[in-house]
Amino acid sequence: MRGPIEFYFDFMSPFGYLGSVEIERVAARHGREVDWRPILLGVTVLKAMGLPPIPTIPLKGPWLDRDRERLSSLLDIPVRKHGLRGVNSLVAARAFLWIKARDAALAKRFGQAVFARLWTRGEDITPVEAVLAEAAKLGVDARELGAALETPELKADLRNAVDAAMAKGVFGAPFFICDGEGFFGVDHVWMLEHWLRHGHFNPARGERAGG
């Protein structure tokens, strides 16, 4: 029995949304679990890397727009390009961690609901009220969660989660770690699935699965 596939995401990223759907399909095909782990891309990870927000990078930004459309088609996962400004995933990420500490399966459903809110309905996920509304729909006690969101403990939990991710080499979203192998981007899932199917990258070259 192998461990879960670690799935690092930021609700802000449409590629993260595509990855969230696709990795569950791939994991199910191979009898593996997916462990959802929120990170904050812009304000922490990219800052540590000395990079600006990726969509703002000349040439790369427009290409990513087209790549999102193509991957959406290829994976058959509709993505709405919302016109919202100033979207921030901080509160949603904290809420995710709080729910996960109590019920990991429920947290995944919450994560899926937040992703769908932003990327299929095009509704904001920034305000506390929006986050609490998605949690309440799943039976989470919104008053208890709302109170937890203000605590220094939960804020520290998220900071620590992001630090732990970077310590493992995570530098973007979606990012997957499977049996110690890191895969960045939904466009890399074909390599992850090759790994799941064969346990190595190329037997002819003598490279075999570790562990």
Of 111 and 174, nearer to a copy of itself (C-beta) is 174
Q: Is 65 in the site for a copy of itself (CB under 8 A)?
A: no
The residue count for the chain: 211
**Rounded to whole angstroms, how far apart are CA atoms 170 and 151?**
26
Of 1 and 204, nearer to a copy of itself (C-beta) is 204
DSSP-derived 3-state class of residue 106? helix
**Rounded to whole angstroms, how far apart are CA atoms 69 and 109?**
25
Binding residues among 185-204 for a copy of itself as defined by CB under 8 A: 185, 187-188, 190-191, 194, 200-202, 204
Binding residues among 129-168 for a copy of itself as defined by CB under 8 A: 166
> Within 13 Å and on the Cβ side, how many CA atoms surround 172?
16
**Rounded to whole angstroms, how far apart are CA atoms 14 and 65?**
10
Residue 150: CB minimum distance to a copy of itself, A = 31
**Rounded to whole angstroms, how far apart are CA atoms 155 and 114?**
19
Q: Is 207 in the site for a copy of itself (CB under 8 A)?
A: yes
**Rounded to whole angstroms, how far apart are CA atoms 96 and 103?**
10
Q: Is 25 in the site for a copy of itself (CB under 8 A)?
A: no
Q: Which residues bind a copy of itself (CB under 8 A)?
A: 45, 48-52, 57-60, 62-63, 66-67, 69-74, 76, 78, 166, 169-172, 181-182, 184-185, 187-188, 190-191, 194, 200-202, 204-205, 207
